[in-house]
Structure 1
């Protein structure tokens, strides 16, 4: 995948599309959000800064990967660049997997940059006030970032599939964010209805209906393990975390396989 000529081409196209400016803006938004949030907490400023910073990362990075997918794949078909790209002696799946690797590499690289900046900012904030429960900036933080990386990898696969089958680039944005919102929230909704059945009139049937989504969608909400880093306690990690990672990665591979199949059958006018 990385040896494909489409991977470096994808990187060049991304930076030509001003990925550097997008990354710089993301870093600025993250720093401002975390710093300003810490000013509203007198007792746990570092914890609040990390919490808001992680939330900002989980919102900013999906937008970045969607914009890059639109630029590297959707525009390829929309502007008929494929007439030149597919004329080279390499299979179609090489184009798809190379561009996917480029988007995933850029997104995960930006994740590491933002994670490092957030860790530095939280550490500086923590120097000014000693909390009763300090945040975990070691292995706890690395585990949290790793789970976010798996979440982003899956969303990149979703955006890649939509870029192949969608007729307009805007549907990649709408479809990916719609998938993200549902996959990140249905698990929390089921848990809420289990603990508080009085929220709706017929909680059991409602919970059963929402629970059907678990057979078709990965539980991206469970990949948010920020409590491990916020309170520095490894026991807050879900007991079924190996299954969460395995199911998410399997879902990612399945979406990529479906995207390759769709591209192979795609007819270009």
Structure 2
């Protein structure tokens, strides 16, 4: 089903776009070309891979219900939970494979760009880079779990795209907005009320923006790693597990026409 969804072509396209964005940004970066290239590469990955998640979930799950493939799938001696978890596991394997390929591609490109445009402060391609990729993988895990839940409860496959990207924009931005308002209270009127309203989102959404710790790899300084990183990892992992459990619960109670 992943091949039917043209995953290979989409993954190849993602690799090409990330490579082009990384190389071109180095040419137009001016100073610190390697740092700029790696920064743009991270941004491109965080934008394109969620789109690929949505397309895969639509093929693996949404079309299962939309085109009544379940009439065949559910005739096998296995429960609905197994069907959902197996599809989700396949999605994770594909995503981790793509993320590994993107990470290796970035390392290769950074080495090539660094040979052409050397800079005094090299980027940290090593343990800091690995930590950044682990945090990014957790970010994608949460989005994959949400897309799975939406695929189960939504009536149309297009809602998976709208819901996942809407969730992504809010979860990645509200923390930065709260910090901005805390630093400059004159940006909006009634700052306290505005900040309190955004603070409510902290009880409903994970802080995916805090998982973007690319500065650790760009400058190699440990102070860019959040002080509460264990809680950050555990809370986001628990949120992803809760979304997946909710998706299983919804599928178990889903009534098919």
Alpha-carbon offset, residue 83 of structure 1: 0.5
Matches of 1:200 and 1:39, distance apart in 2: 38
Hey, what does 1:58 align to over in structure 2?
46
The reply on whether 1:26 has 2:14 as its aligned counterpart is yes
TM superposition score normalised by structure 1? 0.94
Aligned equivalent of 2:124, options 116, 120, 136? 136
CA deviations on 1:237-269 (whole Å, 9 max, x unpaired) are 000000010000000110011000000000000
2:63 to 43, 68, 75: 75
Q: State the distance in 1 between where 2:99 and 2:191 align.
A: 38
Equivalent-residue separation in structure 1 for 2:254 and 2:54 (angstroms): 21
Are 1:121 and 2:109 an aligned pair?
yes
- What SS does the aligned partner of 1:131 have? coil
Q: What is the match of residue 268 of structure 1?
A: 256
Counterpart check, 1:36 vs 2:40: no
Any gaps of 5 or more consecutive residues in structure 1?
1-12
2:204 aligns with one of 204, 216, 222: 216
Once the two structures are superposed, what CA deviation does each residue of 1:150-197 show, in whole Å capped at 9, x if it has no partner?
Answer: 000110000000000000000000000000000000000000000011
1:8-49 alpha-carbon deviations (Å, 9 max, x no partner)? xxxxx1012211100110011001111111111232000000
Q: Could you tell which deviates more after superposition, 172-181 or 118-127?
A: 118-127
TM-score, normalised with respect to structure 2: 0.99
Q: How does 1:184-199 map to 2 (within 5 A)?
A: 184-199=172-187
Number of residues of Structure 1 aligned to a counterpart in Structure 2 = 257
Deviation at 1:133, TM superposition (A): 1.7
Aligned-pair Cα RMSD in Å: 0.7
Equivalent in the alignment of 1:236: 224
Residues 68 and 103, structure 1, Cα contact 8 Å, conserved in 2 = yes
Measured in 1, the distance between the counterparts of 2:223 and 2:149 equals: 36
Aligned partner of 2:144 in structure 1 is 156
Contact 1:93 1:264 in 2 (8 A): yes
In structure 1, C-alpha distance between the alignment counterparts of 2:252 and 2:30, rounded to whole Å:
57
Question: Could you say what secondary structure the match of 1:188 adopts?
Answer: helix
TM-fit CA distance, 1:130: 2.6
Partner deviation per Cα, 1:89-142 (whole Å, 9 max, x = no partner): 101000000101111111121011011101110111011233122100000100
Contiguous gaps of at least 5 residues in structure 2: none
